[in-house]
């Protein structure tokens, strides 16, 4: 599943490697193979593949991972389809149309 991509550069996932103890929980629970172990620390290798489910953050014993679970742009796309409107993604705090992610392309793929 690591080839799945959502809208680029909007995922809220962050990893504090200084807090990481190398327990591999994030690697084990992530459904999209976003994490990989490098040495004795986790590393994000597929940032845009994150669906912001929050499993990694909930299972990290040192709270080295943060993600705003459920606020992903996929939600905006789904709501747009249900409502029959254009999806709007505000999770990245973008303000101008040219800064917005390519939701039209994402909708075509969906």
Q: What does pTM read for this prediction?
A: 0.62
Q: For 32-74, how does the pLDDT look when each residue is reduced to its tens digit (9 = 90+)?
A: 999 999 999 999 999 988 888 889 999 999 999 999 866 556 6
Residues 6 and 88 sit within 8 Å (Cβ to Cβ)? no
Cα distance between residue 92 and residue 74, in whole Å: 13
Closest CA to 109 of 78, 63, 88: 78
Q: Could you give the count of Cα atoms lying within 13 Å of 5 in the half-sphere of its Cβ?
A: 13
Domains detected in the chain: 14-66 (3.30.70.20)
Mean pLDDT, to the nearest integer, of 72-85?
73
What ranges in 1-110 are assigned the alpha helix state H? 25-29, 55-59, 73-83, 103-109
């Amino acid at each position: 599943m690591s080839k799945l991509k959502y809208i680029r550069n909007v995922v809220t996932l962050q990893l504090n490697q200084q807090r990481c103890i190398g327990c591999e929980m994030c690697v084990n629970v992530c459904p999209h193979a976003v994490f990989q172990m490098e040495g004795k620390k986790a590393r994000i290798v597929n940032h845009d593949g994150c669906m912001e489910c929050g499993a990694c953050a909930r299972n990290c014993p040192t709270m080295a991972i943060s993600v705003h679970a459920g606020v992903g742009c996929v939600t905006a796309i789904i709501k747009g389809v249900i409502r029959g409107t254009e999806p709007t993604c505000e999770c990245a705090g973008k303000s101008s149309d040219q800064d917005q992610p390519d939701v039209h392309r994402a909708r075509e793929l969906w």
